[in-house]
Amino acid sequence: MTPQPRFACWEDVPALKSLWQEAFGDSQDYVDFYFSNRFQPQETLVLGQPADAMLTLLPAGWAAGGEEMPVRYVYAVATRRSARSKGLSTLLMRAADDWMKRCGVEAAFLVPAQKSLFGFYARQGFRRSVLMLDTLRLPKSGKSGGNVLLTPCSLEDFCRLRREFFSGIPHVSWDSKALEYAYREILETGGRILKVSSPFECGYVVCSEYSQEHACPQAVLKECALSRRGLYEAAGALYRELGAEVLLARIPGESRDYGMAKAYTPRARRLLFSGAYLGLALD
């Protein structure tokens, strides 16, 4: 008999940690950090006892056109190898649908981890949604950054500057708890959050990826609460601070349909597919 989807309980955590590592390959330290600081049983649907499949529904907002609607980010969908090809993920998706409709959630969105998964989620009723993201290569020969001050960004400044910068841009919004987790996760995993102060503007950059595997050291600014002009003004200082030969900045920009979404209300159908910036996704 196929088990019925249910919300997790704290007793499921050891099995969920094992499933997470099998499915995603994260280190034990990271898995322990996530389950100690972000996991909530009431946001996690599971199948089996112990859990053979899981799906997480992280609360978020979709802010566009002066409106904000409650949505959920469908995250960490996983099935144990020994339980695959039995339709467990489909059962979880249907249960998530029913629960979100009952609770007044207006839409769900996700970012498929692989191109092959777009078809699976399309069969669950998800459509390609426009999530606005550009990757900008900052010129090393540009501004010297001599009048730019880089300092560690406090959690308070991080939350304030993010709210101010993205308020005029259609975006996925996160509550204070989610932002605190994102801040701590970035630092815990070796990233840096730098406050950027200049005569032109004040903002921040999140550097969470640094690699020396390329022909030259490369750093990725995963989120930038700075205008393009602000980034160009700060480029020299950022290159010096990060010791990179190549600096890539992810910024709100051209529309790319790398995500998928599902609307449950007329308002969601109106707002969801016109585009919004997704930052600080747990990827």
Is the Cα torsion angle 244, 250, 254, 257 positive or negative in sign?
positive
Domain 133-254 in the same topology as domain 6-129+258-274: yes
Residues 111 and 89: their CA atoms lie apart, in Å, by: 15
In the chain, the amino acid numbered 190 is G
User: Going by C-beta distance under 8 Å and a sequence separation of 6 or more, which residues neighbour residue 213?
Assistant: none
> CB-based burial of residue 146 (10 Å sphere; 0-12 exposed, 13-18 middle, 19+ buried)?
exposed
User: 265: how many CB neighbours lie within 10 A of its CB?
Assistant: 15
Q: Give the residue carrying structure tokens 């390959």.
A: 25
For 158-216, how does the pLDDT look when each residue is reduced to its tens digit (9 = 90+)?
A: 999 999 999 989 999 999 999 999 999 999 999 999 999 998 899 999 998 665 555 56
Residues 73 and 104: their CA atoms lie apart, in Å, by: 15
> Which H/E stretch holds residue 70?
strand 67-79
Q: What is the pLDDT, as a whole number, of residue 1?
A: 65
Per-domain residue ranges for the chain? 6-129+258-274, 133-254
Residues 250 and 39: their CA atoms lie apart, in Å, by: 27
CATH fit for domain 6-129+258-274, picks 3.30.950.10, 1.10.357.10, 3.40.630.30, 3.40.250.10: 3.40.630.30
For residue 245, give the nearest of 214, 271, 270 by alpha carbon: 214
> CB-based burial of residue 77 (10 Å sphere; 0-12 exposed, 13-18 middle, 19+ buried)?
buried
Average pLDDT over residues 212-225: 78
Residues 282 and 134: their CA atoms lie apart, in Å, by: 18
> Which H/E stretch holds residue 163?
helix 155-166
Of the candidate ranges 54-58, 114-118, 207-211, 275-279, the one whose mean pLDDT is the lowest: 207-211
Q: What is the pLDDT, as a whole number, of residue 216?
A: 61
> Domain 133-254 is of which CATH architecture?
3-Layer(aba) Sandwich (3.40)
Asked whether residue 155 carries a pLDDT value surpassing 60, the answer given is yes
Instruction: Tell me if 110 sits within 8 A of 100, measured CB to CB.
Output: no
Q: Of all residues in the chain, what percent carry a pLDDT higher than 70?
A: 93
Q: Of all residues in the chain, what percent carry a pLDDT higher than 90?
A: 70
Task: Evaluate if pTM is beyond 0.95.
Answer: no
Q: What is the pLDDT, as a whole number, of residue 166?
A: 94
